[in-house]
Amino acid sequence: MDRQNPYFLHPSTIYVSRDSQWIVTILGSCVSVCFFDTKKRIGGINHYMTPYWNGEGLESPKYGNVSIIQLFQKMLDFGAKKEDIVCKIFGGAEVLSEQLSVFNVGQRNIELAYKMVAELGISVVSSSTGGKLGRKIYFNAGTGEVLQKYLVKSNSK
């Protein structure tokens, strides 16, 4: 799978792979955490929309606290070792959406990512978070590389 034909990661989903495969996702106030095992070359990425599951609806990776744990668990299932995993964090822009009631969701998504990754004892090697613009990121699961593009037209995802 080359960069012209990447795997599209939808919101509320998770993807882990051992192959050198490009995964693309579009982030507004949502956040993606990318994990990469530097020795075994296993990469995984999530895309969550809000920080905490509050007991409503399905307990899905739409919620950061569910999503990050699931992504980490999946990395281990693929054979990754906790001490070899590094992390990159993206997204969490202040995108003006119709849902103004969702106060500061971008910022809260970012804070949750840092907090949970720190609790897992994994170091963050790079990040691009916050600001006012949405992002399109390409993550290569086999190399850990991330390419990023700011979106001029903000996307409320």
Partner 1 sequence: MQLLKLEKENEELVRSLSEVNEKLHDSERLKGHFISNITNEIVNPFTSVIALAENIKRLKEGEIPMAHHMAELIFEEAFHLDFQLKNIFAAALIEAGKEQVKCSVINLNDLNHQISEYFRQLLDKKRIQLSIHFSNESTENDQILFTSDREKLDLILKNLISNSIKYSPEDSVVELKYFMGKKELHFEVYDQGKGINPDDRKIIFDRFKQLDEKINSINTGHGLGLSIVQAYAEMLGGKVRLNDNFDKGVNVMVIIPESAEASDWDDLEDFLLDSEASY
Interacting residues toward partner 1 by CB under 8 A: 3-4, 6, 8, 10-14, 24, 36, 38, 46, 49, 54-62, 67, 70, 86, 88, 125-126, 128, 136, 138, 143-149, 157
- CB of 9 within 8 A of CB of 45? yes
User: Are 115 and 56 spatial neighbours (Cβ–Cβ below 8 Å)?
Assistant: no
Given the complex with partner 1, which of 67 and 106 has the nearer CB atom? Answer: 67
Residue 113 CB, nearest distance to partner 1 (Å)? 16
SS3 assignment for 74-143:
HHHHCCCCHHHEEEEEEECCCCCCCCCCCCCHHHHHHHHHHHHHHHCCCEEEEEEECCCCEEEEEEECCC
Nearest approach, Cβ of residue 128 and partner 1 (Å): 6
Nearer to partner 1, 16 or 106 (CB): 16
By beta-carbon proximity to partner 1, the closer residue of 50 and 106 is 50
